[in-house]
Amino acid sequence: MDKNNERECNEDLIRERRKCNFNIEELTNIVDGGKARTARRREIQRLLINDPEFLDEIPQDYMSHEDRYSNELRKSAHLMQKLADQESGHDIHQDIGALTGILKDGNPLMVHLSMFIPAILGQANSEQQEKWLGRSLRNEIIGTYAQTELGHGTFVRGLETRATYDPTVEEFVLHTPTITATKWWPGGLGKTCNYCVVMAQLYTQGRCYGPHPFIVQLRDEETHRSLPGITLGEIGPRLGLNSNDNGFLKFENHRIPRTNMLMKHSQVLKDGTYVKPLHNKLSYGTMMLVRVGIVGACSRSLQYAVTIATRYSAVRHQSEIVPGQPEPQILDYQTQQYKVIPQIASVFALIFSARSLSKIQSSVTAKLKDGNTDLLPELHSLSSGLKALSSSDASWGVEVCRLACGGHGYLASSNLPRTYTGTTCAITYEGENTVLLLQVARYLIKSYRSIGKETGASSVSYLADQTSLASSSSSFSNKALVQAFKLSALSLVAEAEARLQKLCDMGQEFYHAWNYCSVLLLKCAEAHTRYYICEKYEQTVDSLKASEGVKNVLQSLCRLYLIYHITLTHGDFLKCGALTPRNIAVLEGEMCDLLAVLRPQAVSIVDAFDIPDELLGSTLGCWDGNVYQRLYDEALKSPLNKTDVPDAYYKYLLPLMKSSL
Ligand SMILES: CCCCCCCCCCCCCCCCCCCCC/C=C/C(=O)SCCNC(=O)CCNC(=O)[C@H](O)C(C)(C)COP(=O)(O)OP(=O)(O)OC[C@H]1O[C@@H](n2cnc3c(N)ncnc32)[C@H](O)[C@@H]1OP(=O)(O)O
Ligand SMILES: Cc1cc2nc3c(=O)[nH]c(=O)nc-3n(C[C@H](O)[C@H](O)[C@H](O)COP(=O)(O)OP(=O)(O)OC[C@H]3O[C@@H](n4cnc5c(N)ncnc54)[C@H](O)[C@@H]3O)c2cc1C
């Protein structure tokens, strides 16, 4: 599609684009993280969308379960080959975002890339990396991360799979003692992988040392048959991601060499002596790494959904605002703006907090190399909170975008259903959100109780700022609004701590008191993480060196985001005195003004996300707005339309209709 050729474009969209008052390319660079990254993303995407191998012969929704898997594996393998062939040598992990949209509905190699390779990098010592890293990066072996079991997903300490060390032959014996110990869910495990990282309870010298990672060969490298002592399969259809082969795995006293325990952090020596790690949660490092990645991935899902919903809202006309006048664009309804525009604002919130989290992760990783684990708890808390809020915000945002597209949003060809199922899974995987938020709450209560002790953790230093509990602000700058978020979080933490203490003082055990307060604790964790997101948003926009147009748009989006979230949880702001009822009413009015200010820029802002039609894959969101023809053409692809009268008519309907004659 030639974006300069207006003649091919829907007239509403032409008019919308003419209203643009900022430099779109500049905003695109901000979204990508710099000009060079925009160029790189475009180069990769060009490479992919011009390649006919990535086309589906028929839409995936009409394929059988086996064909969906096989078709996706064909494209995934082609993609890996293609990227490996590039002279410039692409770093697939750096470029993972550019691939969004090319592989649809989950793909069998995703966990190989996003968890198996990172597990080797983060958990294997240098000798082990030498043995397995190169091979896995060159795709000579394909792996997954097998942690979850039928009986235990959340509670990693409760895993049942055993790895028992036998010093006589220097081997571990892997065993699945019960049905509930069956590994269940790992992506690519069913049919694709021939290796995996297994999390199993380590037993040596008669003691259990908790879950540790082991690398295990599952299938013969020549025949791809599963090895003796190993039972493997696929777990069946899911809500979404159905072109992946999420699998199950059982071990029957399967032996692996001692050196297959990933030994970067803890070791079992030849005689069975256990050498403990610097920090006993370092074996959870792969999960933490991926949680950080999920924040960025969620922002991309939301970019897709909001691009579709905004363009469609500009093209779609329905009902009337002024009686008797032509039907307006649905984007002119304030209620429609309230659905779509806050989701645009949310995209930037997620992008900026993902970047901030990534930086913290890099510095914690650097410190870990020097044996310093001091900031690991803070990274665990931040990555857990941001993974939880980004996945729930994005899932809700995608769903709102689907609803904003009315009936057509329910069609597979809108690509909104698949975007939703591909996002909502992130609420559950890599740590179920409630559970992760309770980890954040645990960290908050602990930090609150240790006020005065220097921990170096900056994200919770505000908890010591007791004076702010009394200082309600009368100013309404963005900074002042961020202060209100801080006050609300601080006051919730103080309330939860007091309630916990009171229950304990009344004689309850701490863990019962904890469970009894956990709804409030969840709120603390959400408020704390929201405050973090708001603060990063405000700081990033404030310090941005950008043209006036771009800065204005981002300022308005940031302000909308702050006010939108205040109005959603206004009770918390009122309760702690951060804002008065009058303040809330004024802010609600201002939110409507912001929607009106941003409305004319909405199409141009989503254009700045720069998602090619071929990747967006949506009849409703295409660049040219030729929505109705595309919907019609897609409908014609239904196999039911191959014949005027389907066979099923003769088999079932005709006999029924004639039976009463
Ligand atoms: C070539 C170059 C390569 C470069 C590499 C780049 C890498 C790029 C990565 C790419 C990423 C892209 C991602 C985008 C796409 C995403 C697609 C991903 C597909 C994912 C598929 C899904 C996979 C899975 O789901 S895997 C299974 C995940 N499972 C879970 O997450 C389980 C959740 N449960 C837990 O984590 C634990 O059970 C927990 C934390 C809930 C509780 O653990 P516990 O042992 O019971 O601990 P507890 O008693 O509660 O607390 C004790 C103590 O420990 C602290 N703690 C806990 N965890 C940690 C941690 N991780 N770190 C630090 N500290 C931790 C806790 O806070 C307590 O502290 P105290 O209060 O001080 O006692
Ligand atoms: C699409 C998809 C892909 C996946 N890929 C992988 C993979 O590649 N590898 C892998 O190992 N796993 C994978 N998983 C598994 C995933 O990590 C787990 O499903 C997830 O960690 C949640 O665990 P669970 O299913 O046991 O849920 P449960 O823990 O049983 O959760 C059920 C409910 O109990 C609540 N609950 C549980 N514990 C607590 C608590 N302490 N406090 C309060 N409430 C609690 C939860 O909030 C939830 O409401 C995948 C899952 C999905 C859906």
Angle CA 24–26–30, to nearest 5:
115
Mean pLDDT of all residues belonging to the chain: 94
Task: Work out the pLDDT band at 554, boundaries 50, 70, 90.
Answer: very high
pLDDT tens digits for range 127-138: 999 999 999 999
pLDDT for 2: 65
Specify whether the CB–CB gap between 482 and 533 falls below 8 A. no
Share of the chain above pLDDT 90, in %: 89
Q: What is the mean pLDDT of residues 307-329?
A: 96
Q: What is the CATH number of domain 112-277?
A: 2.40.110.10
Task: Give a three-class secondary structure readout of 200-212.
Answer: EEEEECCEEEEEE
Q: Is 430 a catalytic residue?
A: yes
Identify the burial level of 174 via C-beta atoms within 10 angstroms of its C-beta, where 0-12 means exposed, 13-18 middle and 19 or more buried. buried
CATH number for 476-608 (one of 3.20.20.70, 1.20.1260.10, 1.20.140.10, 1.10.3720.10): it is: 1.20.140.10
Task: Domain ranges for the chain, please list them.
Answer: 112-277, 476-608
What is residue 328's DSSP assignment? P
Q: Which of 151, 242, 141, 248 is nearest to 198 (CA)?
A: 248
pLDDT for 103: 75
Q: E strand or H helix at 165, and its extent?
A: strand 162-166
Specify whether the CB–CB gap between 183 and 250 falls below 8 A. yes
Say what the alpha-carbon torsion angle 289, 291, 292, 297 is, to the nearest 10 degrees.
Answer: 120
Selecting among 16, 430, 526, 535, the annotated active-site residue is 430
Task: With a cut of 70, say whether residue 471 has pLDDT above it.
Answer: no
Task: With a cut of 60, say whether residue 595 has pLDDT above it.
Answer: yes
Which residue's CA lies nearest to atom 16 of ligand 1?
294
405 Cβ contact list (under 8 Å, min separation 6) = 308, 309, 312, 313, 316, 414, 416, 620
Helix axes 416-428, 285-315, angle to 10 degrees: 150
Task: Work out the pLDDT band at 101, boundaries 50, 70, 90.
Answer: confident
Which residue's CA lies nearest to atom 44 of ligand 1?
157
The token duo for 406 is 């009315």
Identify the burial level of 335 via C-beta atoms within 10 angstroms of its C-beta, where 0-12 means exposed, 13-18 middle and 19 or more buried. exposed
pLDDT tens digits for range 157-180: 999 999 999 999 999 999 999 999
Instruction: Tell me: is residue 373 an annotated ligand-binding position.
Output: no
pLDDT for 100: 80
pLDDT tens digits for range 225-273: 999 999 999 999 999 999 999 999 999 999 999 999 999 999 999 999 9
How many other CB atoms are there within 10 angstroms of residue 489's CB atom? 28
Task: Work out the pLDDT band at 92, boundaries 50, 70, 90.
Answer: low
pLDDT for 84: 79
Task: With a cut of 90, say whether residue 90 has pLDDT above it.
Answer: no
DSSP string covering 197-263: EEEEEEEETTEEEEEEEEEEE-B-TTT-PBPTTEEEEE----SS-TTS--EEEEESSEEEEGGGB--
Q: Which residue has the higher pLDDT, 80 or 533?
A: 533
Q: Within 6 Å (CB) of ligand 1, which residues are found?
A: 93, 96, 110-111, 114, 118, 121, 145, 147-148, 154-157, 187, 281, 284, 287-290, 293-294, 297, 376-377, 380, 429-431, 435, 439, 442-443, 446
Instruction: Tell me: is residue 617 an annotated ligand-binding position.
Output: no
Out of 91, 102, 114, 241, give the residue to mutate to test ligand 1, the one with the largest number of ligand atoms within 8 Å of its CB.
114
pLDDT for 89: 53
Task: Work out the pLDDT band at 468, boundaries 50, 70, 90.
Answer: low
Task: Work out the pLDDT band at 192, boundaries 50, 70, 90.
Answer: very high
Specify whether the CB–CB gap between 566 and 584 falls below 8 A. yes
How many angstroms separate the Cα of 548 from the Cα of each of 26, 305, 541, 551? Answer: 11, 27, 12, 5
Please give the ipTM for the structure prediction: 0.96
Q: What is the mean pLDDT of residues 328-348?
A: 98
pLDDT tens digits for range 25-79: 999 999 999 999 999 999 999 988 989 999 999 999 999 999 999 999 999 999 9
Q: Which of 106, 525, 93, 115 is nearest to 287 (CA)?
A: 115
Which ligand 2 atom is the nearest neighbour of the CA of 238? 1
* Distance, CA of 377 to CA of 456 (rounded, Å): 11
pLDDT for 96: 77
pLDDT tens digits for range 415-425: 999 999 999 99
